[in-house]
Homo-oligomer: A and B are copies of this chain.
Amino acid sequence: MHLLYWIELFGVVVFAMAGAIEAARNRFDLFGVLVLAFVSALGGGTLRDLLLDISPLAWIRDLTLAYVALISGFAMFLLAKFVRIPFRMLLYADAIGLAAFTVSGTQVSINMGLPGLVVVMMGMASGIFGGIIRDIMANEIPLIFRRDVYATASLVGAVWVYWSQVHQLSPAVSIMVGFLLIMLIRFAAIRWHLSLPSFLNTASYRKENHPEEL
C-alpha cells in the first residue's frame, strides 16, 4: 500500500531529526549524530522485523529508508549549527514519529494475520522502541517513562487501527485516522501537560531517600 510506505518514510524523517536534536543537546560529533539519527529512525522497525522474524530487514530490502534517515540527520546537524533548536521541537518530532511507526507497525502485523494482542503490541513496540533506544544511548531516562500520556497515545492508535479494520473500515482511512489520533493526543499532552495516574504515594520511598539500599 502506497500510503503506508509514505507514512513510514515520513516517520523516518522526523525520528531521524529527533535523534539528531537529542545528539545536539549532548554535543555529539557529526558521526555520533548520524548514528543516533539512524538508530532512532530505523530501530523500531528493525525490532519489529527481528521479533516477527521478517528477513531481510526493512531498511536492507529498501535502501531508501536508510538514505533518508542519514540525510535527515545530516540536515538537522547543519541546521543546528545556525539556528537554536528548542527542546520542544524534539517532543513534537518524536510525537509525529511515534504516530507514524505505531500505525505502520500495526498495519504490518494485521497483514500477517497475527492475533489482536500481538498486533497492538507490535504496533506499540515499533512506535516507541526508536525513542527508547535513542534515549538510552544518550544515557537519559526514555521519554516514555518521563512524559505523560506517551504509551497511552500509541496504545489508543494501535487499538483503533486494529479494531476499525476488524469492523471492515478501509485500511487507508483506518491508518490516516489512527495517525492523526496519536499525533493529536501527544500534541495535546505536550501542550497542556496531561498526565495519567502515577505512583503518587511513592515519593516517600524513592531511592534518593534510601541511598543505603543501593
Q: Which residues of A contact B (CB under 8 A)?
A: 23-36, 46, 50-53, 55-57, 60, 63, 66-67, 77, 80-82, 84-88, 114-115, 117-118, 121, 128, 132, 136-142, 144-146, 148-152, 155, 195-207, 210, 213-214
Contact = CB atoms under 8 A, between A and B. Distances in A.
19 contacts: A26-B141, A26-B206, A30-B198, A31-B150, A31-B151, A32-B144, A32-B151, A34-B151, A35-B128, A46-B51, A51-B57, A53-B53, A53-B56, A66-B117, A81-B199, A82-B201, A85-B205, A138-B141, A138-B145
A83 B86 CA distance: 40
Contacts of A114: 60
Contacts of A33: 199
Q: At the interface, is chain A mostly helix, strand, loop or mixed? A: helix
Copies in the complex: 3
A206 B145 CA distance: 21
A54 to B, nearest CB: 9
B201 A81 contact: yes
A170 B198 CA distance: 47
B28 A198 contact: yes
Contacts of A67: 117
Contacts of A46: 51
Given A34-B151, A53-B56, A66-B117, A197 B29 contact: yes
Contacts of A195: 29
